[in-house]
Amino acid sequence: MPVIGIAMSAGTSAGKTTVLLHGIYRHDDLFAWTVGGYIYAAGTAGLLSQTQPATADGVVQVVGIATHADRMYVNPTLLYFTHV
């Protein structure tokens, strides 16, 4: 943390990973977003959620906003707070 982008694949190719820092990310099979809702870095590393982490010491950071059920506008804010 903080999140600065979205990895475009789970693995690496020769130690390299493509990262989307800003723009539209689409995944037809993975997402079912509520359009217009914020998307947060989830409490589990590497995952996204439309629900703010609510556990003690959980970090809350907006990563983007849902533009469609299967698309998000990636624009991570570097401002985040820790849930108490």
- Residues whose CB falls within 8 Å of the CB of residue 56, separated by 6 or more in sequence, listed in order: 83, 84
pLDDT exceeding 90 applies to what percent of the chain?
42
Coil, strand or helix: which one is 18? coil
The whole-angstrom separation of Cα 75 and Cα 24 is: 9
- Which tens digit of pLDDT belongs to each residue from 33-52? 999 999 999 888 788 999 98
For residue 14, is pLDDT > 80?
no
The whole-angstrom separation of Cα 23 and Cα 51 is: 21
